[in-house]
Chain A
Amino acid sequence: MASRCPGADLPEHPDRLWRTPDPKRAYDVVIVGAGGHGLATAFYLARNHGITNVAVLERGWLAGGNMARNTTIIRSNYLWDESAGLYEHALKLWEGLEAELDYPLLFSQRGVLNLAHSLQDVRDSVRRVNANKLNGVDAEWLDPEQAKEVCPILNISPDVRYPVLGATYQPRAGIAKHDHVAWGFARALDRMGVDLVQDCEVTGIDLVRDRVVGVRTSRGPIRAGKVALAAAGHTSVLADTLGLRLPLQSHPLQALVSELLEPVHPTVVMSNAVHVYVSQAHKGELVLGAGIDSYNGYGQRGSFHIIERQMSAAVELFPMFSRAHVLRTWAGIVDVTPDASAIVGPTPFTGLYVNCGWGTGGFKATPGVGWCFAHTIAHDEPHPLNAPFSLERFTTGALVDEHGAAAVAH
């Protein structure tokens, strides 16, 4: 019998996983944004803190924003202790999430290689491997031949513009199926009585003095004891309605997929220097990500020359990709902070919390940040893991500067 067709392991979709309720007039907590972070936050509010009188409001359709546009890579090989703490907490939760949600997420720990192309890359990479090990994160330094053993299609020839001088390897890293992650959370939330309200755009936030009391939406006003923003690239738009300034810049981030191919690419490969990251989806598409477009944008489309550079880097690293056809390209809008780290915590307004600034890498944090953000909302103070990611750090100077260090350029 022939080998199994790629995608044969994909589960059938049930007809309906959650209700589509009309919003009630009031909730204990309103979460703005039904992407991965909003859904995970609501899940851990219910599971860890018993708070279920919650609405998750979504302008479009559930998980139709950046959740539907990301390249689904999960890893925790960050340089700084603060980041390693948060992302490793997330990775440990990922490892139990299918059982927790009783839903197939196609979480695949196929490992990630982060390539080094210069002597400085090598030094930075080895330093990060050591930092990872000190933080209990699995990490190895591989020479080019060892990297090729992990990913046989990788071109390690020295005769290219940016030869591969080695790679860091995190075996526990991998990918998950993004839609299923959202749907798994949504089904669990629906069963716990949380309202997932789609086609409901938040247009303003109501205050009494400095206390949040509700939101204005395209489906009428909704009162709320607490309001939590998890709106990724559009967080600035919401914060602007309150005159709340956040150190965010929204940029298009593009990705693309090839046609469906036989299984050729067994792991995840990322390169900071030539800036492309590649994995093969469960169905068989090659999924390629790039860097952000340099200018601010909300149009969910980016510049063609970014794709050209990304493709030329990919073809040099993987010569066999030169015959693959691009199936589609798209862009999400990512909110980038000055230190390339997220902002998760309270705001100067009582009862208003923000989870934003994830830039190009929010998906991998989904369960971990949901856990911490739920704690922050329930106790009105940050969890120890997200305390370093406060808004105040831009005034105190205690930045978590992951530019480059985080194994991907921003």
Chain B
Amino acid sequence: MMLIPCPYCGPRDETEFHCGGQAHVNHPNDPHAVSDEEWADFLFFRANPKGVFAERWVHAAGCRRWFNVRRDTVTNDIQSSYRIAEPGTVNE
């Protein structure tokens, strides 16, 4: 069972949260200008590292706010959690 540090509420049990997948994925600035390949990349392709991964979580049973977590996908060690507006390490 993971203890996830919500930046607003502090550490809480993982059952209070939902995982929202990779963090720092930006919507294309001009959707009409991107190619099919770039659009597919935005919609469907995400990093899938065996190691540290920056991902979004929502504290669904708490403050209901989204934030980012850097977690090791092998050990589940959580290295940091930070608010959406704060810069993180972007996945390759």
Cβ of B15 and Cβ of A298 under 8 Å apart? no
Closest partner residue, chain B, to A396 (CB atom) = B36
- Whether a CB of chain A sits under 8 angstroms from the CB of B9 is no
Q: How far is the CB of A201 from chain B (nearest CB, A)?
A: 13
Q: Is the CB of A234 within 8 A of B50?
A: yes
> Which residues 41-56 of B have a CB within 8 angstroms of A?
41, 43-46, 48-50, 53, 55
Q: CB-CB contacts of B8-30 with A at 8 A, as 1s and 0s?
A: 00000011001101000000000
Interchain nearest-CB distance for B33 vs A (Å): 17
Q: Are A304 and B1 in contact (CB under 8 A)?
A: yes
Out of A248, A299, A304, A394, which one reaches B48, CB within 8 Å?
A248
Contact A299 B18 (CB under 8 A): no
Cross-chain contact A303 with B40 (CB below 8 angstroms)? no
A396 to B37, CA, bound (A): 9
* Shortest distance between the CB of B3 and any CB in chain A (Å): 12
- Please provide the 9 A-B residue pairs with the shortest distance between their CB atoms, ordered closest to farther: A236-B48, A295-B19, A395-B40, A247-B44, A294-B19, A394-B44, A338-B44, A298-B50, A298-B74
Assess A296 versus B48: contact at CB under 8 Å? Given A303-B2, A303-B14, A304-B1.
Answer: yes
Count CB-based A-B contacts (< 8 Å). Answer: 58
Q: Which B residues lie within 8 Å of A240 (CB)?
A: 49
Residues A294 and B45 in contact in the complex (CB < 8 Å), given A303-B2, A394-B40, A395-B36: no
Q: Which of B21, B37, B53, B76 has the most CB of A within 10 A?
A: B76
Chain B interface extent, by class: 20 to 34
A64 an interface residue at 8 Å Cβ cutoff?
A: no
Chain B interface SS verdict (over half):
mixed
Contacts of B46 in A (CB 8 A): 247, 249
Q: List chain A positions with a Cβ less than 8 A from chain B.
A: 234, 236-237, 240, 245-250, 294-299, 303-305, 338, 394-396
The answer on a CB contact under 8 Å between A395 and B55 is no
CB-defined contacts of A294 to chain B, threshold 8 Å = 18-19
Distance A249 CA – B76 CA, assembled complex (angstroms): 16
CB distance from A338 to the nearest CB of B (A): 5
Q: List 16 A-B contacts (CB under 8 A).
A: A236-B50, A247-B46, A249-B21, A250-B48, A294-B18, A294-B19, A295-B19, A296-B21, A296-B55, A298-B74, A299-B74, A304-B1, A305-B14, A305-B15, A394-B40, A395-B37
Residues of A within 8 A of B36 (CB): 395-396
A residues in contact with B37, CB < 8 Å:
395
Indicate whether B79 reaches chain A with its CB closer than 8 angstroms. Answer: no
Chain B residues near A245 (CB-CB < 8 A): 41, 45
CA distance A299 to B76 in the complex (A): 8
Q: Is B73 an interface residue (CB 8 A)?
A: yes
> In angstroms, how far is the closest chain B Cβ from the Cβ of A203?
13
CB distance from B91 to the nearest CB of A (A): 11
Task: Tell me whether A305 and B55 are in contact (CB under 8 A).
Answer: no
Distance of A245 Cα from B47 Cα, bound (Å)? 8
Judge if B75 is at the interface, Cβ distance under 8 Å: yes
B55 touches A394 (CB 8 A): no
Return chain B residues, CB-CB under 8 Å to A296: 21, 48, 53, 55, 73
- Note all chain A residues with C-beta closer than 8 A to B76: 297, 299
Residues of B within 8 A of A338 (CB): 43-44
Known A-B contacts A303-B14, A305-B1, A338-B43; the reply to A249 vs B48 at CB < 8 A is yes
Nearest-Cβ distance from residue A149 to partner chain B, whole angstroms: 38
**Cβ contacts under 8 Å, B41 to chain A:** 245
Task: Give chain A residues whose Cβ lies under 8 Å from the Cβ of B14.
Answer: 303, 305
| Additional 13 contacts, C-beta under 8 A, given A236-B49, A338-B44, A394-B43 | A234-B50, A246-B48, A247-B45, A247-B46, A249-B46, A294-B19, A296-B55, A297-B76, A299-B74, A299-B75, A304-B1, A394-B40, A394-B45
**Are A295 and B1 in contact, with the CB atoms below 8 A?**
no
